[in-house]
Amino acid sequence: MPYRSTRTVSSFRVRVLRSRRLAGDVFEVELERPDGFRFRAGQSITVHVGGAARDYSLCNAESADTLLLLARRIAGGVASPLLCDSAPGAIFDISGPNGMFTIALSDLPAVLTANGVGIAPFLSWLRSRAPGPAAPVTLLHGVRRAEDLLFADELRAGCRQYVPCVSREKADGCHYGRVTDWSRDKLSPAGHDFYLCGSRQMTRDMILLVDERFPGSRVHTEIFF
């Protein structure tokens, strides 16, 4: 037998079931789940539009009947306007699942840190857990305005500690500032398992903070553009 590649890429053609705006420019898009499509919480799919491809993290449970993703509608973008504005029945080509951003609790305290739609993989993880007590994690969600906090009640109920961080206005029950500010001031200066999902800037700032203040930590990242 000749030496051949064993890599396989799974591609599917799926229909949109619904798309709805959650807040600001953030939409929740529900797609058909192809037969045999399996994913792990934290993984993403690629949506192919023309010659372009864009990745979106799934935010529903691993066992769900559909695929649910969070997308920020970028005016003039290649894929997100088509996806977010799509009507039920619209067809998209997708591939996946992609990525290794999966959460595995360890002996280190877990700190899940997201900004914006970077909350998607953490939602997926929480929704995939068996019913029971709140997950033993600290979840930081950074947004600019309080109205951008998504699924706050669900996240508060699902995590041992939920910290919404709002950077541009003061809001009841929220930390006023960035996730990095809260981490610097409130987290013990010891080793943690940091899971970072969000913008390049937030990821960079958190990693630099980890190097400076949290020796013995591990950092796991997924970056949204």
Partner 1 sequence: MRTNVGTGDKGITSLLSGERVPKTHVRVEACGDLDELASVLGALASSLPVAPADAAAGVKGEIAAIQEELLRLGAWVAATAGSPAAAALRPPAEEPVRRLEQATQRCEQEAPPQQGFLLPGGSLAASWAHVARSVCRRAERRVAAVPSPETLPFLNRLSTYLYALARWLNHQEGITETVWKP
Q: Is 211 a residue that touches partner 1 (CB under 8 A)?
A: yes
Q: Is 1 a residue that touches partner 1 (CB under 8 A)?
A: yes
Distance between CA 186 and CA 21 in Å, rounded?
A: 33
Q: Among 64, 4, 59, 2, which residue's Cα sits nearest to residue 37?
A: 64
Q: Which CB sits closer to partner 1, 166 or 180? A: 180
Q: Which of 64, 78, 90, 207 binds partner 1 (CB under 8 A)?
A: 207
Q: Which CB sits closer to partner 1, 40 or 144? A: 40
Q: Which of residues 178-197 bind partner 1 (CB under 8 A)?
A: 193-194
Binding to partner 1 by CB under 8 A, coded x per residue (else -) over 16-35, reads --------------------
Q: Which residues of the shown chain bind partner 1 in the complex (CB under 8 A)?
A: 1-7, 44, 55, 98-100, 102, 104, 106, 193-194, 200, 203-204, 207-208, 210-211, 217-223, 225
